[in-house]
Structure 1
Amino acid sequence: MAGKGFGFSLGKMKELTDAFKKAQQVQEGAKQLQEELEAMEIEGQAAGGLVKVYLSGNQEPLKVEISPDVLGEGAEVLSDLVAAAMKDAYAQSTATMRERMEELTSGLSIPGL
């Protein structure tokens, strides 16, 4: 039993140390990514851009723009267009978040998992 430690060889210990370093880099990158996402403005559209909804990269609603050209369409149509623009902005922000997280975590491997 003496000299066996915790069953980790020096090679495994180095892999684990490297994995922890990479995890720290990811954590630091995640903080930076959070700040970048908060500063982003992602646009969703409906009716060829007559209705636009803007979300931050964190999916926080920022603003809505409605062209005067659609105001005469009635509340129900306008409501549907706003909802469609929101869905578009949400889909784009989700894709952006997923893509940025994949970039951040690429190459991260933890030994034994």
Structure 2
Amino acid sequence: MSQGQGFSIPGIGKMKELADAVKKAQQIQEGAKQLQEDLEQMEIEGQAGDGLVKVFVSGNQEPRRVEIAPEALNEGAEILADLVGAAMKDAYQKSTDTMRERMETLTGGLNLPNLG
């Protein structure tokens, strides 16, 4: 055996990759738990009719409240219903976009290895 040459155990590299993947998965799990708490505390506003109707939801789409400007009441029930629906859709879209962005940030630079 020549000096300076070590030996290699087959599979050690894959074991290290697996251990790194488990560690990264744990980091994601911890981050996801914190993200869920953050989303629950968040308040996201959706609106319609240039702010005549505002709907507020949490970061995970839980309805919080609705604000209707007095002027919106003059529009009639059908228009008001449309405005509330549009504000709800706006709030929902903003909330899902926020959730998606936060998840991408959480999982973004982790580069999980291909263990297959």
TM-score by length of 2: 0.88
Work out whether residues 51 and 85 of structure 1, in 8 Å CA contact, stay in contact via their aligned partners in 2: yes
Q: 2:104 maps to which residue?
A: 102
Distance 1:71 1:44 in 2: 18
Tell me which structure has the larger Cα radius of gyration: 2
CA RMSD, 1 decimal: 1.4
- TM-superposed CA distance for 1:111, in Å, is 2.7
- Between the aligned partners of 2:51 and 2:115, the Cα distance in structure 1 is 50
For 1:28, what is the secondary structure of its paired residue? helix
Q: Please say if residues 19 and 111 of structure 1, whose CA atoms lie closer than 8 Å, have aligned partners that are also in contact.
A: no
Q: Aligned residue for 1:70?
A: 72
CA drift at 1:112: 2.2
Q: Which runs of 5+ in 2 are unaligned?
A: 1-8
2:53 corresponds, among 51, 59, 65, to: 51
1:111 lines up with 2:114 in the alignment? yes
Q: SS at 2:50's partner residue?
A: helix
After TM superposition, what 4+ stretches of structure 1 lie above 4 angstroms from structure 2? none
Q: Provide the TM-score with structure 1 as the length reference.
A: 0.90
C-alpha contact 2:52 2:69 (8 A) present in aligned 1 = yes
Q: Sequence identity of aligned pairs in percent? A: 68
Query: Which 10-residue stretch deviates more, 24-33 or 103-112?
Result: 103-112
Corresponding residue number in structure 2 for 1:30: 32
